[in-house]
Amino acid sequence: MLSAGAATSAPGRVLAADEAPNPWFDASYVVENWDTIVRYLDEHVRLTIGAVVLGALIALPLALLARRTRWLAGPVLGLSAAVYTIPSLAMFAFVFPFTGLSATTVLIGLVVYSLVILVRNFLTGLQSVPPDVREAARGMGYGPVRLFWQIDLPLALPAFMAGLRIATVSTVALVTVGVLVGHGGLGQLIFGGFNANFYRAAIVTGTVGCVLLALVADVLLAGVERLVTPWARVGA
Amino acid sequence: MNAFGEALVYLNDPLNWTRRGGILHLLVEHLTISAVAVLAALVVAVPVGIALGSAGRGRGVVVVLSNVSRAVPTLALLTLFAVSPIGFGARATTIALAVFAVPPILTNTYVGFRGVDADVREAARGMGLSRGQVIRRVEFPLALPLVMTGVRTAAVQVVATAALAALVAGGGLGRIVALGFGQQDYGQIIAGALLIAALALLTEVALVVLTWAVRPGPRRIPFPPRRRRPAEPAAAAMRV
């Protein structure tokens, strides 16, 4: 599309790399490297789904515990705010000495971040369930399991889904930092392009891929949200 | 655990702090880039946020901007600016960071000004204040806590992203981690990560205290034991 050739080089210092065509987007690059792109995309999707699912599985008991034990809510939220402040580069670097240059390093870091988002949203959702409703259900003889499945879960579902959507979209963007340990999904394209004489087509393909993946994931989750909360549509 | 021991050794060596390209040098570089980026974002985002929020228009733009910015990988933006005609180095990094700092500041300024009670605004107009005076003397103090939340989010994000800049030859404390990876030096990697994490946490704490200091009305303790209300989705932070 946009071709910025030799014009970008510093005056008086023309390198061979600057002379070569370096388009911002190149369809033939995408076609020729399709297998590589799909491999990275696959890794990206796996890491994202793994992180969000694991995060949700850990976050739900934590949120339930924090609601039940009131004094725990403050520390849980405070700690998660502190953890969320830690930059991703530092997070992956902390995990790296234990798990090495593997996808596990990236996954652990991603789970920690998604956990932080999910615990907050799950707890907000659970706390928004009116106490009278739970009281009434308990009075009607609902046990703790039925209370959770039939009262808490449906009422807190919008907040749960909002949390899942935020966690998924930000996880997609975060996976790219995994290039630090060589498992960054589409981030490999971005970083690879940077190292290969600033080859823009690779960088832009990786970036656009990430954004598209995030949008597709968000739309899919929005669809799931509509499916699992049919009552929300009645009024609209 | 051995790596943590090596990290402590690295951090305890005075030469690692004071030499050229040492921790102090990189820290100053890191903070300079971050401060310039946040200031640039403030100059751009605050007026726009005020204009949109106080007029009550442009909600769609703000929501879309804050959502889309979450989906764009920070590494991608840093790389894109580095390969653009700007060239790689501190300038490209600063611009990329400023671009990232705009959405949280803009969103929170918008939400803050949008949330000012219409009656209060009306009363101020009725007392003979001009539109500019209403913004400066009435709306701004009332919106300040939310604006500061946005600045805090943006600043922490910028400090965190500046660490990533080292991957694309941008400088800052991330260089310690990047060099550590290059030399397979676990101790140095951990030491760099500790420094970056500490800096991000310190930034957060410093800005919480600053927010407390500039908050109008009666002083409350800066770290309330319980949140008054859950974080709004619009004001939610983005991880980098």
Dump pLDDT digits (tens) for B112-166: 998 888 899 889 989 999 888 988 888 988 888 889 989 998 999 899 888 888 8
Its ipTM equals 0.75
HSE value, Cβ hemisphere, 13 Å, CA-based, for A63:
27
- Using the predicted structure, report yes or no on whether residue B233 has a pLDDT greater than 70: no
Arithmetic mean of pLDDT over chain B: 82
Nearest-CA distance from A87 to chain B in Å?
5
Chain B contacts of A86, Cβ < 8 Å? 160, 197, 200-201
Which band of pLDDT confidence, cut at 50, 70 and 90, is reported for residue A47?
very high
Asked if B177 is an interface residue toward chain A (Cβ–Cβ < 8 A), one would say yes
- Among B112, B223, B237, which Cα is nearest to A87's? B237
**Residues A191, B48: contact at Cβ < 8 Å?**
no
**Residue of chain A whose Cα is closest to the Cα of B74:** A173
Would you state the pLDDT for residue A78? 85
The DSSP H or E segment spanning B26 is helix B23-55
Q: Is B91 exposed, middle or buried (0-12, 13-18, 19+ CB in 10 A)?
A: middle
Q: Provide the whole-model pTM.
A: 0.80
Average pLDDT over residues B209-232: 64
Query: How many percent of chain A have pLDDT more than 90?
Result: 31
- Are B38 and B158 spatial neighbours (Cβ–Cβ below 8 Å)? yes
Range with the lowest mean pLDDT among A196-200, B216-220, B235-239?
B235-239
Backbone phi, psi, residue A56, to 5°: -65, -40
A51 or B56: which carries more pLDDT confidence?
A51
Q: What is the structure's pLDDT at B160?
A: 87
Nearest CA of chain A to the CA of B73: how many Å?
4
Higher confidence at residue A26 or residue A190?
A190
pLDDT, residue B220, reads 61
Which residues from B are below 8 Å from A206, CB to CB?
A: 76
Length of chain B, please? 240
For residues B143 and B82, is the Cβ–Cβ distance under 8 A? Answer: no
Which of A79-88, B11-20, B56-65, B95-104 shows the lowest per-residue confidence on average (mean pLDDT)? Answer: B11-20
Map chain A to HEC letters: CCECCHHHCCCCCCCHHHHCCCECCCHHHHHHCHHHHHHHHHHHHHHHHHHHHHHHHHHHHHHHHHHHCHHHHHHHHHHHHHHHHCCHHHHHHHHHHHHCCCHHHHHHHHHHHHHHHHHHHHHHHHHCCCHHHHHHHHHCCCCHHHHHHHHHHHHHHHHHHHHHHHHHHHHHHHHHHHHHHCCCCCHHHHHHHHHCCCCHHHHHHHHHHHHHHHHHHHHHHHHHHHHHCCHHHHCC
Cβ of A85 within 8 Å of Cβ of B164? The answer is: no
Rounded to an integer, the average pLDDT of A166-170 is 91
Instruction: Give how far A212 is from chain B: nearest CA, Å.
Output: 9
Number of residues assigned to chain A: 236
Query: A191 vs B75: CB contact, 8 Å cut-off?
Result: yes
Partner-chain contact B73 A174, CB within 8 Å:
yes
Asked if the Cβ–Cβ distance from B161 to A179 is below 8 Å, we say no
First to last CA, chain A: 43
Quote the CA–CA distance of B153 and B41 in Å, as a whole number.
12
Does the distance separating the beta carbons of A204 and B80 come in below 8 Å?
A: yes
Model confidence at A9: pLDDT above 80? no
Among A82, A124, A207, select the one facing B80 at the smallest CB separation.
A207
Distance CA B47, CA B36 (A): 17
pLDDT band per the 50, 70, 90 thresholds, residue B187: confident
A138-147 pLDDT, tens digit per residue, is: 999 999 899 9
Q: Average per-residue pLDDT in chain A?
A: 84
**Angle ∠(B223,B224,B226) on CA atoms, nearest 5:** 135
pLDDT in tens, B166-175: 887 777 888 8
Q: How far is B224 from chain A (nearest CA, A)?
A: 9
pLDDT computed for residue A1 by the predictor: 37
Q: How many CA atoms lie within 13 A of B30 on its CB side?
A: 31
- How many angstroms away from the CA of A198 is the closest CA of chain B? 6
Dihedral sign for Cα atoms in the order B28, B39, B207, A174: negative
Share of chain B above pLDDT 90, in %: 18
Taking the C-alpha atoms of residue B109 and residue B53, their distance in angstroms, rounded to an integer, is 7
In the structure, what pLDDT confidence band is assigned to residue A54 with cuts at 50, 70 and 90?
Answer: very high
Task: Tell me the two tokens of residue A42.
Answer: 């696959």
What is the DSSP-derived secondary structure letter of residue B129?
A: -
Per-residue pLDDT, averaged over A103-128, amounts to 90
Q: What is the pLDDT of residue A15?
A: 58
Phi and psi at residue B172, to the nearest 5°: 95, 180
List the single range of A17-31, A53-67, A90-104, B223-237 with lowest mean pLDDT.
Answer: B223-237
Contacts of B85 in chain A (CB under 8 A): 4, 7-8
| Subunit contact A90:B163, Cβ cutoff 8 A | yes
Indicate the residue of A87, A96, A210 with minimum beta-carbon distance to B197: A87
Residue B44: closest CA among B98, B115, B108, B110: B98
Q: How far is CA A185 from CA A39, A210, B73, B166, in A?
A: 8, 9, 12, 19
- Our CA-based measurement puts residue A118 at a distance from the nearest CA of chain B, in whole angstroms, of 12
pLDDT at position A136, please?
Answer: 93
To test the contact with chain A by mutation, choose from B8, B75, B175, B195 the residue with the greatest count of A C-beta atoms within 10 A, namely B75
Res B43 pLDDT > 90? yes
Q: What residues contact residue B159 under an 8 Å CB cut-off, 6+ apart?
A: A87, B30, B34, B199, B200, B203
Strand partners, A23: A3
- pLDDT reported for residue B191: 87
Q: Which of A24-28, A72-76, A166-170 has the lowest mean pLDDT?
A: A24-28
- Give the amino acid at A55: G
Q: What is the pLDDT, as a whole number, of residue B236?
A: 45
pLDDT at residue B231, rounded to an integer:
44
Cβ neighbours for B212, distance < 8 A, ≥ 6 positions apart: B219, B220, B221, B222
Which residue of chain A is at minimal alpha-carbon distance from B225? A74
Query: Would you state the pLDDT for residue A178?
Result: 87
Q: Is B35 in CB contact (< 8 Å) with chain A? A: no
Counted across chains A and B, CB pairs separated by less than 8 A come out at 156
Band (pLDDT 50/70/90 cuts) for residue A118 is very high
Cα(A67)–Cα(B174) distance, rounded to whole angstroms?
38
A110-118: average pLDDT = 90
Which stretch of A4-13, B13-22, B68-77 has the lowest confidence by average pLDDT? A4-13
Contact in structure between B235 and B150 (CB atoms under 8 Å):
yes
Residues 135-174 of B with CB under 8 A from A: 156, 159-161, 163-164, 166-168, 174
pLDDT of residue B39: 95
Distance in Å, alpha carbon of B15 to nearest chain A alpha carbon: 22
Cα–Cα distance measured from residue B239 to residue A55, given in angstroms and rounded to the nearest whole number: 15
Q: Is the pLDDT of residue A228 over 50?
A: yes
